């Protein structure tokens, strides 16, 4: 196949070892689109690839992480133009990376994150291939590209993973069976996802937002990003009593979103739910939890897992961002040459908010 150009791309070549090499970028075929990357988010999942842990341990080296991608359309395949009239070279786009089989019922509706076939073709996933840690990425179809016009780059770049996951979670938290829309939504874990979650909750709900974490510095930032109240669950184990003590009209806990999801946070999240609450589980820290089955119908708590999000949801939140009022959580910018340090810093907890590569 014809080579369009040669460009830099970073790979994990051994445990905790990144290598930047030149690779061929092929001329786009069929509906493919080549995007020139301008920014890429460094996500905590990428640290698992770097460490060769979690699901990434199932696949050999090299691996190509990097799934939060912002760039411009560079070269358009011969059949891609008809698929999207808006598609023009130079258009600023973000990439929906959670691409699956593209054939099953879920994928056809844009819910690639709930693909029924299990055939993941995630950009920046656990296999070698297309990724965000490089100068160019080839996307199989323009439907995976969303215009980022009107959104500042440092906000746009974090939307495909951090933004989308937190938005999906907040949206699920609002699908309540009973309508006490001015009650309380509790956000457990006020790191990067939690900070975005707080902002979405303030934007799309009328609820009082209570942020819970075990770090006072994280909670201080949560207040800055709009949390109405914050509580350190290490110093104040009875979070339920804390909520009952608040001077607000409606203290009903409508929803709890657990962005951590370890044994401790799940126990806390479950204890905060009242009859008819939504319990949204996002984090993948994991563990085991025993529950009294009889209490499931008696409490009527709706438990919903969230794994990233759909293309329609990404389009929705991009539209919300265009309206203003959502702030980026980016705190650190690096060139591609520093990808090794970017991942090591995230691994050792040195990053507050999000770091990005600027190409
Ligand atoms: Zn991610
Ligand atoms: Zn599918």
- State ipTM: 0.97
Ligand 1 mean position, distance from CA 31 (Å)? 26
Ligand nearest the Cα of residue 120 is 2
Tokens of 43: 């996500």
Average pLDDT, the chain: 94
For residue range 156-207, what is the model confidence (pLDDT) as tens digits?
A: 999 999 999 999 999 999 987 666 678 999 999 999 999 999 999 999 999 9
What number of CA atoms fall less than 13 Å from residue 147's CA on the CB side?
A: 12
212, 216, 220, 223: CA torsion to nearest 10: 20
Place of tokens 């507050």: 352
Ligand 1 mean position, distance from CA 244 (Å)? 35
Which residues are CB-contacts of 267 (< 8 A; sequence separation ≥ 6)?
Answer: 289
* Nearest-angstrom CA–CA distance, 172 and 174: 5
Q: Where are the domains of the chain?
A: 3-158+328-358, 164-305
Residues with Cβ–ion distance below 5 A, ligand 1: 43, 45, 161
Which of 3.90.180.10, 3.40.50.10800, 1.20.58.1910, 3.90.170.10 is the CATH number of 3-158+328-358? Answer: 3.90.180.10
Ligand 2 mean position, distance from CA 306 (Å)? 17
Ligand nearest the Cα of residue 124 is 1
Strand, helix or coil for residue 118? coil
Read off the pLDDT band of 10 (50, 70, 90).
very high
Q: What percent of the chain has pLDDT over 70?
A: 98
pLDDT of residue 181: 79
pLDDT of residue 273: 96
Ligand 2 mean position, distance from CA 108 (Å)? 7
> Which stretches within the chain are classed as H helix?
44-51, 105-108, 153-156, 164-173, 192-204, 216-224, 239-244, 263-272, 295-299, 311-322, 339-347
For residue range 95-123, what is the model confidence (pLDDT) as tens digits?
A: 999 999 999 999 998 899 999 998 889 99
Ligand nearest the Cα of residue 160 is 1
pLDDT of residue 179: 60
Ligand 2 mean position, distance from CA 340 (Å)? 33
For residue 81, pLDDT over 80 is answered with no
pLDDT of residue 180: 61
pLDDT (average), residues 49-65: 93
Ligand 1 mean position, distance from CA 163 (Å)? 9
pLDDT of residue 177: 63
pLDDT of residue 213: 97
Residue (of 148, 142, 187, 149) closest to 166 by Cα position? 187
pLDDT of residue 228: 98
Residues with Cβ–ion distance below 5 A, ligand 2: 100-101, 104, 107, 115, 117
For residue 84, pLDDT over 70 is answered with no
pLDDT of residue 127: 85
Ligand 2 mean position, distance from CA 139 (Å)? 17
pLDDT (average), residues 206-218: 96
Ligand 1 mean position, distance from CA 298 (Å)? 36
Ligand 1 mean position, distance from CA 308 (Å)? 8
Ligand 2 mean position, distance from CA 132 (Å)? 22
Read off the pLDDT band of 145 (50, 70, 90).
very high
Q: Report whether 26 contacts 4 (CB < 8 A).
A: yes
Ligand nearest the Cα of residue 310 is 2
pLDDT of residue 120: 84
Cα 242 to its chain centre, rounded Å, is: 29
* Nearest-angstrom CA–CA distance, 118 and 34: 25
Ligand 2 mean position, distance from CA 162 (Å)? 22
pLDDT of residue 85: 60
Ligand 1 mean position, distance from CA 189 (Å)? 16
pLDDT of residue 83: 56
For 29, 46, 51, 85, 331, the CA distances from 55, given in Å and listed in that order, are 31, 11, 11, 38, 28
Which residues are CB-contacts of 258 (< 8 A; sequence separation ≥ 6)?
Answer: 188, 189, 265, 266, 269, 279, 280, 281, 282, 283
Read off the pLDDT band of 128 (50, 70, 90).
confident
341, 95, 328, 211: CA torsion to nearest 10: -90
Residue (of 189, 209, 191) closest to 200 by Cα position? 209
Q: Report whether 9 contacts 21 (CB < 8 A).
A: yes
For residue range 224-277, what is the model confidence (pLDDT) as tens digits?
A: 999 999 999 999 989 999 999 999 999 999 999 999 999 999 999 999 999 999
Ligand 1 mean position, distance from CA 241 (Å)? 34
Ligand 1 mean position, distance from CA 161 (Å)? 5
Residue (of 127, 155, 179) closest to 330 by Cα position? 155
User: Which CATH superfamily includes the segment(s) 164-305?
Assistant: NAD(P)-binding Rossmann-like Domain (3.40.50.720)
| Backbone dihedral angles phi then psi of residue 140, each to the nearest 5 degrees | -70, -20
For residue range 291-349, what is the model confidence (pLDDT) as tens digits?
A: 899 999 999 999 999 999 999 999 999 999 999 999 999 999 999 999 999 999 999 98
């Amino acid at each position: 196949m014809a080579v369009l150009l040669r460009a830099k791309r970073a790979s994990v070549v051994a445990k905790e070892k990144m290598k930047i090499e030149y690779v061929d970028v092929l001329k786009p075929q069929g509906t493919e689109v080549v995007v020139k990357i301008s920014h890429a988010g460094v996500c905590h999942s990428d640290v698992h690839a770097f460490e060769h842990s979690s699901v990434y341990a199932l696949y050999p080296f090299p691996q190509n992480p990097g799934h939060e991608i912002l760039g411009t359309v560079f070269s358009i395949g011969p059949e891609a133009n008809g698929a999207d009239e808006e598609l023009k070279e130079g258009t600023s786009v973000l990439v929906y990376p959670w691409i699956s089989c593209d054939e099953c019922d879920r994928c056809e509706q844009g819910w690639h994150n709930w693909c029924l076939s299990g055939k993941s073709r995630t950009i920046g996933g656990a296999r070698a291939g297309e990724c965000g840690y490089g100068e160019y990425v080839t996307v199989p179809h323009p439907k995976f590209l969303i215009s980022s016009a009107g959104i500042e780059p440092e906000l746009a770049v974090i939307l495909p993973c951090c933004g989308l996951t937190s938005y999906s979670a907040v949206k699920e938290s609002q699908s309540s069976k009973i309508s006490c829309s001015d009650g309380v939504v509790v956000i457990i874990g006020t790191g990067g996802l939690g900070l975005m979650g707080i902002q979405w909750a303030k934007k799309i709900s009328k609820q009082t937002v209570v942020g819970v974490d075990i770090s006072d510095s994280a909670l201080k930032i949560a207040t800055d990003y709009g949390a109405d109240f914050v509580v350190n669950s290490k110093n104040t184990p009875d979070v339920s009593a804390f909520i009952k003590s608040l001077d607000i009209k409606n203290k009903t806990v409508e929803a709890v979103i657990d962005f951590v999801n370890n044994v401790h946070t799940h126990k806390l999240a479950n204890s905060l739910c009242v009859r008819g609450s939504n319990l949204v589980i996002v984090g993948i820290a994991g563990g085991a939890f025993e529950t009294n089955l009889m209490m499931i119908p008696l409490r009527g708590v709706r438990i919903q897992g969230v794994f990233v999000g759909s293309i329609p949801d990404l389009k929705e939140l991009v539209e919300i961002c265009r309206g203003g009022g959502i702030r980026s959580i980016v705190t650190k910018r690096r060139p591609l040459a520093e990808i090794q340090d970017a991942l090591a810093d995230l691994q050792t907890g040195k990053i507050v908010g999000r770091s990005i590569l600027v190409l």
